[in-house]
Structure 1
Amino acid sequence: MRTNYLIHPLIFLVVLTTNLAVAQQSDNTGTIKDIDHIIAIVNEECITRRELDEILKISLKQLQKQGIQPPANDVLEKRLLEREILSLVQLQLASEIGMTIGDTELDQALTRIAKGNKMTKEEFYSVLRQEGISYGKFREEIRKEMLLLRLKEREVIQKIKVSEGEVDNFLYTQANLSDSSDEYLLSHIMVRIPEQASVIKIEIRRQHAEAALAKLKNGDEFAEVAAAFSDAADALKGGKLGWRPVTQLPINFSEVLKLMKPGELTQIIRSSSGFHILKLLERRSKIEYDVVVIDQSHVRHILIKVNELTSTTDAQIRITRLKERLDNDADFEELARLHSEDFTASAGGDLGWVSPGDTVAEFEQAMNGLQLGMVSEPVQSTFGWHLIQVIDRRTKDVSNEQQRRKASKTIRARKSNTAFQEWLQQLRDQAYVEYRYEDV
């Protein structure tokens, strides 16, 4: 089945292990402050001193590992508190709309995490124990991350539309740019502007950005200034954005960057979400190939999903019975319409022309091994159990299609970055937040 309609397998390279190990030590050795009390009320929930102390310990450990000098404790605490508030309001919204990550789905994700680290589940759990990490805590952290990703997909990504006209304009513009294949290695500081901020508030935020820029020009390390001043999610990672294609950057960013040399800083750049400072670390040109010829398969399938109501065994039994009916000359399209739990059911299970990489690995491997008209044996993937039939095959030059698909993806990524920041700020501004700063 097409992965662009479903959540990709999550592969975490055990990035949470250090964090959770520190948190586990916090549970065992006590917190920075002895007495627990409320430091912020967020709608109807509270953030406590103990919770913030635990987050602080984790963050200090992260900064230490990266060789970044942390800002003053009071600055770091308030920054971490705001980050926790943003996380909490998102989780509250997910709860309000009934969004959950079930145990079965979570177990499948944990299995994929283990596989992504080239381990069995048992080996992975053993590593967690050796790191002093509670499996239960790790499990719930993954559940939370999955929930936040799903919420972002529902509330932001799915609402972004890219028209054919936008794709046409993008391709025309790129064809006339000499640097359209350039990529930049960037670090970034963002000073967020609240939604509907007053002129005075905007000026205060600008002065905050100017103070950060002054420190950078004075020779302070970018990572340390980012940790102290930036409101971006990557602030405690030194503001590192990694490699970004010029086509995925806002126009006001790319116009400035193309004139810069590695090591240089931008002046303050204003956007709808706030004030930005960029540092260009490196640039490179990416070679692009004009002609792309691929093998495609015209495929239909039947899917029985594994979820809270249907176990893996039950799904396998159901798909096996359907295979028996197909072996006895039942019509594939009719069975797909009646029994498939995929979005293609109404079309008789027809996925259309499928290119390499469009489907999960188990599906693609089984599909490639089929002769025309044959029905596969039951195939298990991360989404459930499938029966697959290949209707036709062809070799096609998809250069133009791939170029347009890539352009659409780039436009969507550019829009989604801005839309997510605006949505997050709106969500934050709509929340009731009462600070107990005297306790922080």
Structure 2
Amino acid sequence: MNVKTKLSDCLRPLMLGALLIGTVAHAEVRSIDKVVAIVDNDVVMQSQLDQRTREVQQTIAKRGQGVPPASALESQVLDRLILENLQLQIGERSGIRITDEELNQAVGTIAQRNNMSIDQFKAALAHDGLSYNSAREQIRREMIISRVRQRRVAERIQVSDQEVKNFLASDLGKAQFSEEFHLANILVPTPDSATSDQIQAAAVKAKDIYGKLQQGANFEQLAISSSASESALDGGDMGWRKAAQLPPPFGDMLSSMSPGQVTPPARTPGGFIILKLLEKRGGENQTQMRDEVHVRHILIKPSEIRSEAETKLLAQRIYDRIQNGEDFGELAKNFSEDPGSALNGGDMNWVDPRSLVPEFRDVMNETPQGVVSKPFQTQFGWHVLEVLGRRATDSTSQAREQQAMTVLRNRKYDEELQTWLRQIRDEAYVEIKLPGADQAAK
């Protein structure tokens, strides 16, 4: 496995939906450079565009596919850089900061997951022609973007008990506990409040792409050159999805398809989507027993008025108070900023470790029962936790409801993220200065 692919795979868990293949390093600023886009209060430089384009080309080459010329990729890559820039500006205005300590912890986690020491990690980057400092900076950027998306998108998603019940009673809900699909997608977007002419134009473009695929065109290359999806520069690869996580037209369609087949274009809130089925897994023989952990926690979040350092210090003070004999539950009620558990003294009840973010799951798994963990950080903020019990259990209705809740939240997040990205792009002042490109400003 080449180092660049390996690093990208390690970075992937740090993001809510974001894919990082080919985005690790940035070029050093050259003596001769120019602005290719004005983005609100910031700019995108030609050097950034050139470096990112080269990385995309290298990633495509590693897959053994024909490499498109830079001119065919520049528009797509520039649009991705503009969206990243806008999200970083939102993070700056919101007071989101990544301290050196947090960054060092993230880099250490990446190296550890790749079975490397920090020195080995640096050597691996150098061997692949990547700068360690540039890699650190890209990790910092991705962490900021992740937190921006958490605050602006994930935190406002709500799933009702009735939605969960309806989902479990549906055919898609039943399918949730069976097959999974490895998918790639091509998205032809439509604007918010699109006119009939705009919808028709998008439909024609999607139909044209589908026709090329039916005639044997390469899906990855068409995704890279023509798709507006978040995963476009990765050849459209979405990873594994349950049928229930997909827009309704695709559930039944994929169940009857074979790997390698492509769906006709289907209209979704974001535009017209074409899916390619890459692999299937799961089905009839699923393990009925699973480990569960009874855990409670206290969450302290950074905010516009509380810095990361102050947040960490408050979490440490709460931990010290627990160690000095104060009641965990009362402190959770008074301080925890997790609305789902604070009023219950921080009690999350019995949870499937697989449903938790990796940082929380790792600390929970390493903490003995009855012991309070030292403060630690996840994408949500700073936590202390206590493990109250462990058990192996059958798949209960409660567990199914929790899985359904997760699926519905993920589905809503995917849809809401695309809507939000279009919104911030539409509301921003963007002036494209790339030679040969149309000027666009708002």
TM range (shorter): 0.7 to 0.9
What residue is the counterpart of 1:218 in the other structure? 215
Instruction: Give the alignment of 1:159-238 within 5 angstroms.
Output: 159-174=156-171, 181-238=178-235
**8 Å contact 1:300–1:348 — kept in the other structure?**
no
Contact 2:336–2:346 (CA<8 Å) still a contact in 1? no
Which residues of structure 1 form unaligned runs of 5+?
1-9
Alignment match of 2:58 (pick from 56, 61, 75): 61
1:422 corresponds to which residue? 419
Between 337-346 and 421-430, report the one with greater CA deviation.
337-346
In the alignment, residue 138 of structure 1 is paired with which amino acid?
Answer: A
| Matched letter for residue 128 of structure 1 | L
The code of the aligned residue for 2:264 comes to: Q
For 1:116, the equivalent position in structure 2 comes to: 113
Contact 2:22 2:56 (8 Å CA) reproduced: no
CA deviations on 1:301-328 (whole Å, 9 max, x unpaired) are 799999524889x9879856863x43xx
Asked if structure 1 preserves the Cα contact closer than 8 Å seen for 2:98 and 2:308, the reply is: no
Determine the structure 2 residue equivalent to 1:278: 275
Report deviation, 1:52: 1.4
Given that 1:68 and 1:238 are in contact with CA atoms closer than 8 Å, whether structure 2 keeps it comes out as no
Change beyond 3 A, Cα 1:362–1:67: same
Is it true that 1:94 corresponds to 2:91 in the alignment? yes
| Aligned counterpart, 2:409 | 412
CA distance in 2, matches of 1:200, 1:18: 36
Secondary structure at the counterpart of residue 367 of structure 1: coil
Task: Measure how far apart 1:51 and its partner are.
Answer: 2.1
Opposite residue 57 of structure 1, the aligned amino acid is: R
Q: TM-score, normalised by structure 2?
A: 0.78
Query: Structure 1 CA distance, aligned partners of 2:110 and 2:419?
Result: 31
For the residues of structure 2 that align with 1:400 and 1:202, how far apart are their CA atoms?
42
Counterparts of 1:299 and 1:163 in 2: how far apart (Å)?
A: 23
Please, which of 237, 240, 264 is the counterpart of residue 237 of structure 2? 240
Instruction: Provide the rounded CA distance (Å) in 2 between the counterparts of 1:395 and 1:292.
Output: 6
Shift of 1:249: 1.3
The 3 A distance-change label for structure 1 pair 367 and 398 is: farther
Question: Does structure 2 conserve the Cα–Cα contact (< 8 Å) formed by 1:304 and 1:318?
Answer: no
1:311-390 aligned within 5 A: 323=323, 325-326=324-325, 331-333=326-328, 336=331, 350-351=346-347, 353-355=349-351, 357=353, 359-368=360-369, 370=370, 379=374, 381-382=376-377, 388=386, 390=388
The one-letter code sitting in structure 2 at the alignment partner of 1:332 is D
Answer whether contact 1:304 1:386 (CA < 8 A) is retained. Answer: no
Whichever residue aligns with residue 115 of structure 1, its letter is: Q
Q: CA RMSD in A?
A: 3.9
Matched-pair contact (CA < 8 Å) for 1:190–1:277? yes
The amino acid across from 2:33 in the alignment is: D
Equivalent pair of 1:19/1:62 in contact (CA under 8 Å)? no
Residue 439 of structure 1: CA displacement? 5.4
Conserved? CA contact 2:247–2:268, under 8 Å: no
Distance, in Å, in 1 between the alignment partners of 2:394 and 2:297 is: 22
Q: Which amino acid aligns with 1:193?
A: T
Aligned residue identity for 1:413:
N
Q: Secondary structure at the match of 1:191?
A: strand
In 1, Cα distance between equivalents of 2:364 and 2:256: 46
| Partners of 1:266 and 1:348 in 2: CA distance | 46
| More deviation, 420-429/344-353 | 344-353
- Paired residues of 1:291 and 1:399 also in contact (CA < 8 A): no
8 Å Cα contact 1:298/1:352 also seen in 2:
yes
Residues 134-159 of structure 1: CA distance to partner in whole angstroms, max 9, x if unpaired?
Answer: 22211110011111111111111111
Amino acid at match of 1:399: T
- Given the superposition, is the C-alpha separation of residues 161 and 38 from structure 1 closer, same or farther in structure 2, using an over 3 Å criterion? same
Query: How many Å apart are 1:346 and its aligned residue?
Result: 6.8
Change (3 A) 1:296 1:222: closer
Letter in 1 for 2:108: T
Within 1, Cα distance between the matches of 2:84 and 2:53? 15
1:3 — aligned with what? Answer: none
Please name the residue that 2:16 is paired with.
none
Instruction: After superposing the two structures, state which structure 1 stretch, 234-243 or 347-356, moved more.
Output: 347-356
Pair 1:105-2:102 in alignment? yes
Q: Which has the larger radius of gyration?
A: 1
Q: Give yes or no for contact 1:195–1:429 (8 Å, CA) kept in 2.
A: no
Do 1:191 and 1:275's aligned partners in 2 also have CA atoms closer than 8 Å? yes
Number of equivalenced pairs: 411
CA contact (8 A) 1:70 1:227 kept: no
Secondary structure of residue in 1 paired with 2:402: helix
Give the drift of 1:264: 2.6
Q: Deviations over 1:212-240 (max 9, x none)?
A: 22221222221122222111122222222
SS at 1:410 equivalent: helix
Find the aligned partners of 1:315 and 1:175 in 2 and give their Cα distance.
41
Rate the CA distance shift 1:266–1:348 in 2: closer, same or farther, 3 A. Answer: closer
Moved more, 214-223 or 398-407: 214-223
Cα distance in 2 for residues equivalent to 1:82 and 1:338: 44
- Say which is worse superposed, 161-170 or 183-192, in terms of deviation: 183-192
**TM-aligned CA distance change 1:149 to 1:271, over 3 Å:** same
Q: Percent identity?
A: 29
Q: Please give the alpha-carbon distance, in whole angstroms, between the structure 2 residues aligned to 1:361 and 1:12.
A: 17
The match for 2:309 is 308
Amino acid at match of 2:11: F
- 1:350-405 deviation digits (Å, cap 9, x = unpaired): 4353446265333443333x4xxxx66x7464577958585x78886661110000
Note the alpha carbon deviations across 1:195-217, whole angstroms, 9 max, x for none. Answer: 23333333333332233222212
- After TM superposition, the structure 1 stretch with the greater mean CA deviation from structure 2, 261-270 or 419-428, is 261-270
Secondary structure at 2:368's aligned position in 1?
helix
**Cα distance in structure 2, aligned partners of 1:58 and 1:281:** 24
Shift in alpha-carbon separation, 1:121–1:402, aligned structure 2, 3 A: same
The match for 2:49 among 32, 43, 52 is 52
Aligned equivalents of 2:299, 2:12: Cα separation in 1: 33
